[in-house]
Structure 1
Amino acid sequence: MNPRDRSGATPLIIAAQMCHTDLCRLLLQQGAATNDQDLQGRTALMLACEGGSPETVEVLLQGGAQLSITDALGQDATHYGALTGDKLILQLLHESARRSSPPSASLEEDSGEASSQNSVSSHEKQGAPKK
């Protein structure tokens, strides 16, 4: 179910790249691997984001696509989504990230404690002068 072409792309990756939402849904129902990567490290989710298809992005996320996978350049699906500037895609990715993060992490994030603690510890680690 996951044959590859010369670029390492699977049928799901190609369908996502071409924004064929219904074909992506069918391939997932038939057991296509959601998080396979082509030779450049790109996943179906990354290419659906790049193609600007919120519908395809949603189908892939529902099929278990992971946001944390990075391509050969270290870019993840959120980066691809940001490049298109599609607000709905970014919202879908953000909601998926929130659902997959542990409750304690999102509580800290919501209160702003995590970000301020991280910047303080980062500031101290760099040995910057304290005011």
Structure 2
Amino acid sequence: MKLAITSLFVVTLILAGCSGKGLVAGETPPAGEPRPVPGGEKRAEAAQRQEDLGKSIKAGDLEAVKRTLQEHPEALDARNLNGFTPLLLAGYHGRAEIGLYLVEAGADIEAQDPMGNNAYMAAASGGSTDLIRVLLEKGADPRFRNRLGQSALHQACLLGRLEAVQLLIGEGADVNAVDESGATPLYWAASKNQLPIAELLIEKGAKLDVATISQRMRPIDAARVHQHQRMVELLQDHGADA
């Protein structure tokens, strides 16, 4: 479970607006520390620009995004201090309109964040169904997995994105896919008490008793551990072994 929890932690930081400002180059260093190397000021300006662009994306300010990219087209696929491109941020924050603009502007849809999520995964995490559709039209691989072996469906279930789950299943996502920890989408839905998603997964053929590798935890076990009684009852009603 540690690997998958790490993925959730990273996404949570993104959605919370973690900017890594303490790492911005070009600030006056404390006494005794090296001065910035030549070119450091330009790098600091570029880094700050990406941070500001990220804030505009989070706020859903499409016009500000357009202005930045018109003045600095090199920012389209540049990464912020945490390793995220503008398109990845648009996906995570659920800013479909901005994401669509970035795609049409030529953003790299295969760029990955530090956890190995690409724009398709980010859009699923943010619940951006319109962006998911466009990325599929542009050639995104619906079978893509991140470094934790998670699919877009895992991410959408983990974060409670019901409409994205419906779309992904409609596009052929495997409801019984397992990540590196052995967890299925249903496991994560049960763990996070996502009742409508769990019901949909079961309706679409999700297996009830697939256990994780290290702790041998099934969806019903995860629901019990987190004291999600209604989820426990739902799984039992559909035949999960007590």
- Report the TM-score when normalising by structure 1: 0.67
RMSD after superposition: 1.9
Count of residue correspondences: 99
1: CA distance between counterparts of 2:176 and 2:150?
12
Q: Tell me which residue corresponds to 1:21.
A: 129
**Greater relative contact order (Cα < 8 A, sep 6+):** 1
Normalising by structure 2, we get a TM-score of 0.38
Among 77, 80, 89, the residue aligned to 2:188: 80
Tell me what 2:83 maps to: none
1:30 paired with 2:138, answer: yes
Bigger CA radius of gyration? 2
What is residue 170 of structure 2 aligned with on the other side? 62
What are the residue-to-residue correspondences of 1:1-131 with 2, within 5 Å? 2-97=110-205
Does structure 1 retain, via aligned residues, the 8 Å contact 2:153–2:168? yes
Amino acid at match of 2:121: I
Kept in 1: contact 2:125–2:161 (CA 8 A): no
Report the alpha carbon displacement of residue 59 of structure 1 after superposing the two structures with TM: 0.6
Gaps of 5+ in 1: 99-114, 116-131
Structure 1 CA distance, aligned partners of 2:126 and 2:178? 20
C-alpha spacing 1:64/1:2, structure 2 compared with 1 (3 Å) = farther
Identity of aligned residues (%): 30
| 1:35 Cα offset (Å) | 2.0
What is aligned with 2:85? none
Deviations 1:24-67 (A, max 9, x none): 12212333211211001111101101111110100111111112
Structure richer in helix, relative to its length: 1
